[in-house]
């Protein structure tokens, strides 16, 4: 529904619907144990980021950064998530976040994230993201 609203140019309605989905999935994935319980959250966060980028309102995405980190950690904590999937999703999130940082004049953060997305094997996930941690 949100993607349809976006295609119709109803950016505020698309944003509202995506935010509503994110809120529901953040709540429901708190104790996720399966890949399929967390992966849709990542997709929805990336979709909302794309909406902000496409409509030149990247500053609205800044509050999503911590949620993206939390979603990746939840995905990584699910025993049935293949390592390669974690790495791919982590790269998608890093690149999406880097685009937002670049568009909001935070170029240093953007450069760091782009660099990390090229060398993922050297970085680990801070497992305490639900308590305010981030991807390292």
The rounded average pLDDT for each run of 10 residues, N- to C-terminus, in the chain (136 residues) is 87 96 96 94 96 95 94 95 91 92 90 74 44 41
Looking at residue 26, its pLDDT comes to 96
Q: How far apart are alpha carbons 83 and 125 in whole angstroms?
A: 12
Looking at residue 114, its pLDDT comes to 81
Q: How far apart are alpha carbons 121 and 136 in whole angstroms?
A: 11
Tell me the sheet residues that pair with 135. Answer: 125
Q: How far apart are alpha carbons 118 and 100 in whole angstroms?
A: 18
Looking at residue 5, its pLDDT comes to 87
The pTM of the whole model exceeds 0.85: no
Q: Work out the angle between the directed axes of helices 83-103 and 35-54 (0-180°, nearest 10).
A: 20
| Cα dihedral sign, 42-44-46-48 | negative
């Amino acid at each position: 529904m949100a993607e349809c609203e976006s295609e119709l140019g109803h950016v505020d309605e698309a944003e509202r619907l995506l935010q509503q989905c994110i809120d529901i999935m953040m709540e429901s994935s708190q104790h996720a144990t399966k890949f399929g319980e967390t992966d849709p959250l990542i997709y929805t966060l990336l979709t909302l980021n794309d909406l902000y980028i496409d409509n030149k309102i990247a500053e609205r995405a800044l509050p999503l950064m911590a949620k993206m980190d939390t979603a990746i950690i939840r995905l990584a904590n699910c025993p049935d998530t293949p390592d390669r999937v974690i790495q791919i999703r982590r790269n998608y999130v890093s690149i999406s976040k880097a685009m937002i940082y670049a568009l909001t004049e935070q170029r240093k953060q953007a450069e760091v994230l782009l660099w990390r997305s090229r060398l993922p094997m050297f970085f680990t996930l801070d497992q305490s993201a639900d308590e305010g941690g981030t991807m390292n």
